[in-house]
Structure 1
Amino acid sequence: MTRFYNKQKELSEKWIGPVYPKIRNKLLKNSEFSNMCFVLPAGKGIFQVQSGGKDYIVSILTKSCDCRKWDLTGIPCNHAVACLRHERFPTEEMMPSCYSIETCGKVYGFNIMPCKDQSLWEKTNGPQVQPPIYEKEVGRPPKSRRKQP
Protein backbone atom coordinates (compact mmCIF):
# COMPACT_ATOMS: atom_id res chain seq x y z
CA MET A 1 0.00 0.00 0.00
CA THR A 2 2.81 2.38 0.82
CA ARG A 3 4.38 1.86 -2.61
CA PHE A 4 1.10 2.70 -4.34
CA TYR A 5 0.70 5.81 -2.20
CA ASN A 6 4.26 6.99 -2.96
CA LYS A 7 3.84 6.35 -6.69
CA GLN A 8 0.55 8.27 -6.71
CA LYS A 9 2.30 11.23 -5.07
CA GLU A 10 5.23 11.05 -7.51
CA LEU A 11 2.86 10.84 -10.45
CA SER A 12 0.93 13.90 -9.42
CA GLU A 13 3.89 16.04 -8.28
CA LYS A 14 7.18 15.10 -9.93
CA TRP A 15 6.67 13.30 -13.24
CA ILE A 16 6.60 15.53 -16.29
CA GLY A 17 6.75 14.75 -19.99
CA PRO A 18 5.16 11.98 -22.02
CA VAL A 19 7.42 9.09 -20.91
CA TYR A 20 8.02 7.36 -17.56
CA PRO A 21 11.21 8.81 -15.94
CA LYS A 22 13.23 5.57 -15.77
CA ILE A 23 12.50 4.89 -19.44
CA ARG A 24 13.41 8.48 -20.31
CA ASN A 25 16.81 7.93 -18.63
CA LYS A 26 17.39 4.80 -20.73
CA LEU A 27 16.42 6.75 -23.83
CA LEU A 28 18.87 9.53 -22.92
CA LYS A 29 21.64 6.97 -22.44
CA ASN A 30 20.85 5.48 -25.86
CA SER A 31 20.91 8.96 -27.41
CA GLU A 32 24.40 9.51 -25.96
CA PHE A 33 25.61 6.26 -27.53
CA SER A 34 23.95 7.19 -30.83
CA ASN A 35 26.54 9.96 -31.30
CA MET A 36 29.04 7.23 -32.24
CA CYS A 37 26.79 5.80 -34.99
CA PHE A 38 27.03 6.60 -38.70
CA VAL A 39 23.70 6.40 -40.54
CA LEU A 40 23.30 5.47 -44.22
CA PRO A 41 19.70 5.73 -45.50
CA ALA A 42 18.54 2.95 -47.84
CA GLY A 43 15.04 4.32 -48.49
CA LYS A 44 11.48 3.69 -47.26
CA GLY A 45 12.42 3.93 -43.59
CA ILE A 46 15.30 1.45 -43.77
CA PHE A 47 18.82 2.40 -42.70
CA GLN A 48 22.26 0.87 -42.41
CA VAL A 49 23.97 1.98 -39.23
CA GLN A 50 27.70 1.56 -38.67
CA SER A 51 28.63 1.36 -35.02
CA GLY A 52 31.65 -0.18 -33.32
CA GLY A 53 32.94 -1.82 -36.47
CA LYS A 54 29.63 -3.60 -37.15
CA ASP A 55 26.75 -2.85 -39.49
CA TYR A 56 23.13 -2.93 -38.30
CA ILE A 57 19.97 -2.70 -40.38
CA VAL A 58 17.26 -0.55 -38.80
CA SER A 59 13.66 -0.24 -39.99
CA ILE A 60 11.71 2.66 -38.56
CA LEU A 61 8.40 1.47 -40.01
CA THR A 62 8.53 -1.95 -38.36
CA LYS A 63 10.41 -0.64 -35.30
CA SER A 64 13.15 -3.24 -35.56
CA CYS A 65 16.94 -3.35 -35.42
CA ASP A 66 19.46 -6.14 -35.99
CA CYS A 67 20.70 -5.80 -32.40
CA ARG A 68 17.12 -6.73 -31.34
CA LYS A 69 17.05 -4.37 -28.35
CA TRP A 70 14.31 -2.28 -29.95
CA ASP A 71 12.37 -5.42 -30.89
CA LEU A 72 12.48 -6.89 -27.38
CA THR A 73 11.95 -3.84 -25.16
CA GLY A 74 10.17 -1.33 -27.38
CA ILE A 75 12.71 1.30 -26.33
CA PRO A 76 14.66 2.56 -29.36
CA CYS A 77 18.28 1.39 -29.22
CA ASN A 78 21.19 3.71 -29.98
CA HIS A 79 21.12 2.65 -33.66
CA ALA A 80 17.41 3.48 -33.89
CA VAL A 81 17.89 6.80 -32.11
CA ALA A 82 20.58 7.72 -34.65
CA CYS A 83 18.15 6.93 -37.49
CA LEU A 84 15.34 8.87 -35.85
CA ARG A 85 17.66 11.85 -35.47
CA HIS A 86 18.64 11.56 -39.13
CA GLU A 87 14.94 11.70 -40.12
CA ARG A 88 14.20 14.32 -37.42
CA PHE A 89 11.54 12.25 -35.69
CA PRO A 90 11.07 12.77 -31.94
CA THR A 91 12.20 9.59 -30.22
CA GLU A 92 9.53 9.79 -27.52
CA GLU A 93 6.80 9.44 -30.15
CA MET A 94 8.21 6.06 -31.21
CA MET A 95 7.77 4.62 -27.72
CA PRO A 96 4.96 2.13 -27.00
CA SER A 97 2.04 3.43 -24.98
CA CYS A 98 2.88 1.12 -22.04
CA TYR A 99 5.78 3.47 -21.13
CA SER A 100 3.65 6.62 -21.04
CA ILE A 101 2.76 8.61 -17.95
CA GLU A 102 -0.95 8.17 -18.72
CA THR A 103 -0.58 4.39 -18.51
CA CYS A 104 1.30 4.71 -15.21
CA GLY A 105 -1.51 6.91 -13.98
CA LYS A 106 -3.99 4.15 -14.81
CA VAL A 107 -1.85 1.54 -13.04
CA TYR A 108 -1.46 3.54 -9.84
CA GLY A 109 -4.83 5.28 -10.08
CA PHE A 110 -6.73 2.96 -7.76
CA ASN A 111 -6.32 2.29 -4.06
CA ILE A 112 -5.58 -0.99 -2.30
CA MET A 113 -8.00 -1.33 0.56
CA PRO A 114 -6.39 -2.39 3.87
CA CYS A 115 -7.57 -5.55 5.65
CA LYS A 116 -9.09 -5.67 9.10
CA ASP A 117 -7.20 -7.21 11.99
CA GLN A 118 -7.46 -11.02 12.11
CA SER A 119 -9.37 -10.85 15.39
CA LEU A 120 -12.16 -8.92 13.61
CA TRP A 121 -12.63 -11.45 10.80
CA GLU A 122 -16.02 -13.15 10.52
CA LYS A 123 -16.13 -16.75 11.75
CA THR A 124 -17.43 -19.23 9.17
CA ASN A 125 -18.60 -22.80 9.54
CA GLY A 126 -16.52 -23.99 6.57
CA PRO A 127 -13.91 -26.73 6.75
CA GLN A 128 -10.57 -26.01 8.40
CA VAL A 129 -7.88 -25.36 5.75
CA GLN A 130 -4.99 -27.81 6.17
CA PRO A 131 -1.61 -28.03 4.41
CA PRO A 132 -1.33 -30.66 1.68
CA ILE A 133 -0.50 -34.21 2.73
CA TYR A 134 3.18 -35.08 2.26
CA GLU A 135 3.71 -38.07 0.02
CA LYS A 136 7.11 -39.71 -0.03
CA GLU A 137 8.55 -39.88 -3.54
CA VAL A 138 9.45 -43.20 -5.08
CA GLY A 139 13.11 -44.03 -5.54
CA ARG A 140 16.35 -43.49 -3.78
CA PRO A 141 16.82 -40.01 -2.24
CA PRO A 142 19.61 -37.90 -3.75
CA LYS A 143 22.95 -37.58 -1.98
CA SER A 144 23.43 -34.37 -0.06
CA ARG A 145 27.22 -34.56 0.20
CA ARG A 146 29.76 -33.48 -2.40
CA LYS A 147 32.73 -35.70 -3.09
CA GLN A 148 36.12 -34.07 -2.92
CA PRO A 149 38.38 -34.58 -5.97
Structure 2
Amino acid sequence: MEKWSHEIGQKVFRFVKKVKQESVYCYSGYIGNSTYQVSARGDEQFVVDINDKTCGCSKWQLIGIPCVHGMAALLSTNHNPMDFIHLRYKKESFLRAYTPVIYGINEPKIWTK
Protein backbone atom coordinates (compact mmCIF):
# COMPACT_ATOMS: atom_id res chain seq x y z
CA MET A 1 0.00 0.00 0.00
CA GLU A 2 2.94 2.33 0.49
CA LYS A 3 3.55 1.92 -3.25
CA TRP A 4 0.17 3.40 -4.18
CA SER A 5 0.76 6.29 -6.57
CA HIS A 6 -2.73 7.70 -5.95
CA GLU A 7 -5.02 8.07 -2.95
CA ILE A 8 -7.01 5.08 -4.26
CA GLY A 9 -5.91 1.63 -5.37
CA GLN A 10 -4.68 1.00 -8.91
CA LYS A 11 -7.74 -1.05 -9.99
CA VAL A 12 -10.12 1.62 -8.73
CA PHE A 13 -8.00 4.32 -10.36
CA ARG A 14 -8.21 2.53 -13.73
CA PHE A 15 -11.97 2.12 -13.28
CA VAL A 16 -12.39 5.84 -12.54
CA LYS A 17 -10.27 6.69 -15.58
CA LYS A 18 -12.51 4.51 -17.78
CA VAL A 19 -15.67 6.12 -16.36
CA LYS A 20 -14.19 9.57 -17.06
CA GLN A 21 -13.56 8.60 -20.68
CA GLU A 22 -17.11 7.31 -21.10
CA SER A 23 -18.62 10.41 -19.48
CA VAL A 24 -17.64 12.62 -22.42
CA TYR A 25 -20.63 11.12 -24.27
CA CYS A 26 -23.03 12.54 -21.67
CA TYR A 27 -24.56 16.00 -21.45
CA SER A 28 -25.04 17.49 -18.01
CA GLY A 29 -27.60 20.22 -17.37
CA TYR A 30 -27.89 22.10 -14.08
CA ILE A 31 -31.30 21.82 -12.37
CA GLY A 32 -30.67 23.53 -9.04
CA ASN A 33 -28.75 23.25 -5.77
CA SER A 34 -26.46 20.27 -6.41
CA THR A 35 -28.79 18.49 -8.85
CA TYR A 36 -28.15 17.83 -12.54
CA GLN A 37 -30.09 16.22 -15.38
CA VAL A 38 -27.66 14.04 -17.31
CA SER A 39 -28.48 12.76 -20.78
CA ALA A 40 -26.61 9.66 -21.82
CA ARG A 41 -26.39 7.86 -25.14
CA GLY A 42 -29.73 7.41 -26.78
CA ASP A 43 -32.66 8.79 -24.84
CA GLU A 44 -31.51 7.86 -21.32
CA GLN A 45 -31.76 10.63 -18.73
CA PHE A 46 -30.81 10.47 -15.08
CA VAL A 47 -31.01 12.88 -12.17
CA VAL A 48 -27.69 13.24 -10.34
CA ASP A 49 -27.20 14.90 -6.95
CA ILE A 50 -23.50 15.45 -6.38
CA ASN A 51 -23.88 16.46 -2.71
CA ASP A 52 -25.82 13.27 -1.89
CA LYS A 53 -23.61 11.23 -4.23
CA THR A 54 -26.64 9.71 -5.95
CA CYS A 55 -27.75 8.97 -9.49
CA GLY A 56 -31.04 7.68 -10.88
CA CYS A 57 -29.22 4.64 -12.28
CA SER A 58 -28.23 3.70 -8.67
CA LYS A 59 -24.68 2.63 -9.59
CA TRP A 60 -23.05 5.44 -7.62
CA GLN A 61 -24.97 4.45 -4.49
CA LEU A 62 -24.18 0.75 -4.97
CA ILE A 63 -20.44 0.89 -5.56
CA GLY A 64 -19.43 4.18 -3.98
CA ILE A 65 -17.72 5.43 -7.13
CA PRO A 66 -19.34 8.02 -9.42
CA CYS A 67 -21.10 6.38 -12.36
CA VAL A 68 -20.81 7.77 -15.89
CA HIS A 69 -23.69 10.18 -15.26
CA GLY A 70 -22.31 11.33 -11.93
CA MET A 71 -18.88 11.77 -13.49
CA ALA A 72 -20.37 13.93 -16.26
CA ALA A 73 -22.01 16.18 -13.66
CA LEU A 74 -18.82 16.39 -11.59
CA LEU A 75 -16.60 17.22 -14.55
CA SER A 76 -19.03 19.84 -15.86
CA THR A 77 -18.64 21.69 -12.56
CA ASN A 78 -14.87 21.23 -12.27
CA HIS A 79 -15.17 19.05 -9.15
CA ASN A 80 -12.40 16.57 -8.44
CA PRO A 81 -13.96 13.07 -8.84
CA MET A 82 -11.52 11.69 -6.24
CA ASP A 83 -13.36 13.73 -3.60
CA PHE A 84 -16.56 11.79 -4.38
CA ILE A 85 -15.21 8.25 -4.09
CA HIS A 86 -16.27 6.35 -0.98
CA LEU A 87 -13.74 6.26 1.83
CA ARG A 88 -13.53 2.44 1.69
CA TYR A 89 -11.48 2.69 -1.53
CA LYS A 90 -8.95 5.18 -0.16
CA LYS A 91 -5.44 4.39 1.00
CA GLU A 92 -6.04 5.64 4.54
CA SER A 93 -8.87 3.10 5.00
CA PHE A 94 -6.70 0.23 3.81
CA LEU A 95 -3.89 1.30 6.11
CA ARG A 96 -6.24 1.49 9.09
CA ALA A 97 -7.62 -1.97 8.32
CA TYR A 98 -4.29 -3.72 7.76
CA THR A 99 -1.95 -1.89 10.16
CA PRO A 100 -2.85 -3.71 13.40
CA VAL A 101 -0.87 -6.89 13.98
CA ILE A 102 -2.85 -10.09 14.47
CA TYR A 103 -0.82 -12.31 16.76
CA GLY A 104 -0.80 -16.06 16.33
CA ILE A 105 -1.74 -18.51 19.08
CA ASN A 106 -0.34 -21.86 20.13
CA GLU A 107 -2.12 -25.05 19.23
CA PRO A 108 -5.09 -26.06 21.45
CA LYS A 109 -3.24 -29.04 23.01
CA ILE A 110 -1.02 -26.74 25.09
CA TRP A 111 -3.70 -24.28 26.19
CA THR A 112 -4.16 -24.06 29.94
CA LYS A 113 -7.48 -25.24 31.25
TM-score by length of 1: 0.67
State the alpha-carbon separation in 2 of the partners of residues 121 and 20 from structure 1.
Answer: 42
TM-score by length of 2: 0.87
Inter-CA distance 59–122: structure 2 relative to 1 (3 Å threshold): same
Inter-CA distance 115–35: structure 2 relative to 1 (3 Å threshold): same
SS in 2 for 1:83: helix
1:104 partnered with 2:104: no
1:113 partnered with 2:103: yes
Structure 1 runs (4+) greater than 2 angstroms displaced: 110-116
Q: Of 100, 103, 110, which residue of structure 2 is paired with 1:122?
A: 110
Per-residue displacement from partner, 1:97-124 (whole Å, max 9, x unpaired)? 22110110111112333444x5x83166
| Corresponding residue number in structure 1 for 2:56 | 66
Q: Of 72, 75, 78, which residue of structure 1 is paired with 2:68?
A: 78
- Residue 90 of structure 1, CA deviation: 0.1
Q: How many residues align?
A: 112
- Cα RMSD of the aligned pairs, angstroms, is 1.8
Inter-CA distance 18–124: structure 2 relative to 1 (3 Å threshold): closer
| Corresponding residue number in structure 2 for 1:51 | 40
Give the gaps of 5 or more residues in structure 2: none
Per-residue displacement from partner, 1:62-90 (whole Å, max 9, x unpaired)? 11101100011111001111110001000
Give the gaps of 5 or more residues in structure 1: 1-10, 126-149
Q: Is the 8 A contact 1:20 1:104 kept in 2?
A: no
Q: Is the 8 A contact 1:19 1:100 kept in 2?
A: yes
State the alpha-carbon separation in 1 of the partners of residues 29 and 84 from structure 2.
Answer: 20
Which residue identity does 1:84 align to in structure 2?
L
| Greater radius of gyration (CA) | 1
1:24 partnered with 2:16: no
Q: Is the 8 A contact 1:74 1:95 kept in 2?
A: yes
SS in 2 for 1:36: coil
